[in-house]
Amino acid sequence: MSATERKILEVLSGKTITPPPIWLMRQAGRYLPEYRETRARAGSFLDLCYTPDFAVEVTLQPIRRYGFDAAILFSDILVIPDALQRNVRFTEGHGPQMDPIDADGIRKLASDGFMAHLEPVIETVRRLRKELPNETTLLGFCGAPWTVATYMIAGHGTPDQAPARLFAYRHPEAFEYLLDVLSDMSATYLVAQIDAGADAVQIFDSWAGVLGEVEFERYCTRPMARIIASVKAQRPAAKVIAFAKGAGYLLRDYRQKTGADAIGLDWAVPLDFAVELQKDGPVQGNLDPMRVVAGGRALEEGIDRILEKLGHGPLIFNLGHGITPQADPAHVTVLVDRVRSFGR
């Protein structure tokens, strides 16, 4: 099978495939016992991300177990601020932390040489493309500038991203400069992943849902468009999935404004609205991860509704966000089998 016959690439080109191809956000993660074993051997979380032996292994684990149609590079959205020397660390029970940045620090940011810091990640991509089954799409990724900036401003995750929102109101020029720096670094990083063997890339804007309409346009749509335009200018055949979690009806013209090839949908996006979005091109999503935890009828009904509504157009079946550590691996097997029985 050639690269052009990888099912997810076909969908990203606008083709409808029955049953739809499937992968899951965070498909390599703590719900899998083999992941927990590898994580323990790796030491720190960043060591897991930056050591190709470990990162390749955990990326391949869900492919071996479930045969997903795509593998997504195992890394983290915060490797870019780590490359900017923001002292990123992951503390058990507290999530990611880093040194918070202020307006003066933003003006002093220097991104020269950041790709040298990220070379282990690129090496992981190279090795994955060689080790994956030929029919499996390899996805690279990065965090969207708004989402990455929220961590950089606060120094940690917050429920409503109030520190970043307040900073953006008080220091609009410095904040937009930060978004521009992150956009340009992200584009360079994604092109390097594509050159190393990634078939397509996804950009995660996990905190898009906390913004109002004006701010969403300024802090989410504009930077996403900047990244995608840069990537496609350098690699015209590149395929990009844009995932703006929580954006709701602000997604109505998001594809057109950003240039994304596919739109990722979280589980709160109404399926009737998703059908309208699918008329303009491929969509990805959008099962509630809690249905995977619940299993049984809740899981089956959720899968069936999505397939009934979206399975007759270009669809990549996925969750509406990442799989949670509480998920039973056996429920994922049920999910994969049920999706793959659609239309048969």
State the residue for tokens 């992951």: 90
Catalytic site residue 26? yes
- CB-based burial label for 72 (10 Å; 0-12, 13-18, 19+): buried
**Amino acid code (one letter) for 44:** S
Catalytic: which of 30, 89, 252, 340? Answer: 30
Catalytic: which of 39, 127, 218, 291? Answer: 39
Distances (CA, A) of 163 to 79, 152, 159, 220: 21, 10, 10, 16
Catalytic site residue 218? no
Catalytic: which of 26, 165, 218, 291? Answer: 26
Catalytic site residue 30? yes
Which three-class secondary structure state does DSSP give residue 17?
Answer: coil
Catalytic site residue 50? no
Catalytic: which of 76, 82, 199, 261? Answer: 76
Q: Which residue intervals of the chain are DSSP H helices?
A: 7-12, 33-42, 45-50, 52-66, 79-83, 103-107, 114-117, 119-131, 145-154, 162-170, 172-196, 213-215, 222-234, 254-258, 271-278, 289-294, 296-310, 329-340
Catalytic site residue 160? no
Residues in contact with 172: Cβ distance below 8 Å, sequence separation at least 6, in sequence order: none
DSSP string, 106-163: HHT---TTHHHHTHHHHHHHHHHHHHS-TTSEEEEEEE-HHHHHHHHHHSB--SS-HH
H/E segment holding residue 77: none
Catalytic: which of 50, 66, 151, 219? Answer: 151
Catalytic residues: 26, 30, 39, 76, 151
